[in-house]
Structure 1
């Protein structure tokens, strides 16, 4: 991606926000779509141009792109509504990257848009060998991902941390550490 493009990230969890930060670091105009206000707020802190509730996303994306749609759509929620909407957000000759995990579920979506819009759709899971490049990218761009970490627990409080981590309304990224332990 580059500064001439609009990237829509559907899903404001950890993967979606890191994807948005990467696109921001490459200079793209980035829009994050998520139903949770806290996640939209973090997207704006990371530098997203806009953060939109899904109920208003399709129309707003058309407005932002003067009717073209997004050059790249990153579907990071794995939620059936997000997966279906991703095809609507994409521009003619657009690209889509499906990174949200939704394996084994059937999802009603207008797959005819792949042909009608001449979309390039790619799915991926996992990240072998990506860490060294990701660290270099963060060093060179100066992107601060700390807003994604919403809660920090000592290892001795792991049960509480895991319980909180099950609630996407309450947190984004929960981390555990041995800091302060003997």
Structure 2
């Protein structure tokens, strides 16, 4: 089979590897879509890994947002069979600890990440544990299914946690792929979405996805206050990971409002007294979704006919992996996805 390897220094190798076989409790999946994520860029450059990273560079197949068709099941698999359409859940947990039992396998102290610690979806075939192969409704395309496992799923879990609903205003700061997913999910949950980004093309996409207001970064706080009669928004979600965006989210939130920080970030300076304490603000980290949310995520997408595939800006064949990673790294694409013939 063909498989992408990232040895670092922005090099990409499409190698021939033996076809994997499923072990006990595992399934073999023929890939149909696998998305590139900004977190993959640490592997691509060789500088760092957002998660995982204990494995030698260039030895693990990347791709933590896969979708495809089961072609073989290992011994002990009872809930899936060949021909089932599935998407891949990225967190492999021990299955025994408190966090695993709660469905938060990415919080398991012994967890492994697909595409970072074990081979991911940027290959013709991928092996996953049975629990990590999530059934994909027939109404959902494979590219959409791949995006539902990270961007859409993460936003659903985060916004549901904050109680986003009709009658609320939701500010989304940063309209990269994750931010656009936040717009899509927030609108589906009934909120009036205010979308913020300095790039006009991203703002226009947000408008097409249902944002009620799209504004640039310059003077964004004043505009948000004007749109909310000076009150601020009930919920703000930062997807930029930028200190200015994070502070905008904190400042834009109303008294007793909520903020989710989703964009990855290493350091940010804030003013806790003014921005959190005296506003009685609820601030959470937003990262991935528990297994138990998958059914609700698929229902939301199917019942409301969400145009998840609209989040894909570029499609690539696996043979063109070097160009795909280069273009994504240079921000010439938004969400890029490897696709196989269905």
Normalised to the residue count of structure 1, the TM-score between the two structures is 0.91
**Residue number in structure 2 paired with 1:176:** 338
**Residue number in structure 2 paired with 1:138:** 301
What's the secondary structure of 2:330's corresponding residue? Answer: coil
Q: Structure 1 unaligned segments of length 5 or more: list them.
A: none
More helix by share: 1
In 2, the alpha carbon distance for the partners of 1:47 and 1:124 equals 22
State yes or no: 1:155 paired with 2:318: yes
Structure index of larger Rg: 2
C-alpha distance after superposition, 1:138-175 (max 9, x if no partner): 1111111232111111111111111111133x321011
In 1, the alpha carbon distance for the partners of 2:198 and 2:192 equals 20
State yes or no: 1:109 paired with 2:270: yes
State yes or no: 1:88 paired with 2:251: yes
Cα–Cα, structure 1 residues 131 and 36, in superposed 2: closer, same or farther, change >3 Å?
Answer: farther
8 Å contact from structure 1 (residues 154, 179) kept in 2: no
In 2, the alpha carbon distance for the partners of 1:172 and 1:37 equals 13
Give 2:202's match in structure 1, choosing from 39, 43, 49: 39
What's the secondary structure of 1:55's corresponding residue? Answer: coil
CA RMSD of aligned residues (A): 1.5
Deviates more, 1:131-140 or 1:20-29: 131-140
In 2, the alpha carbon distance for the partners of 1:109 and 1:54 equals 18
Question: How many angstroms does 1:114 deviate by?
Answer: 0.5
What's the secondary structure of 2:218's corresponding residue? Answer: helix
**Residue number in structure 2 paired with 1:97:** 260
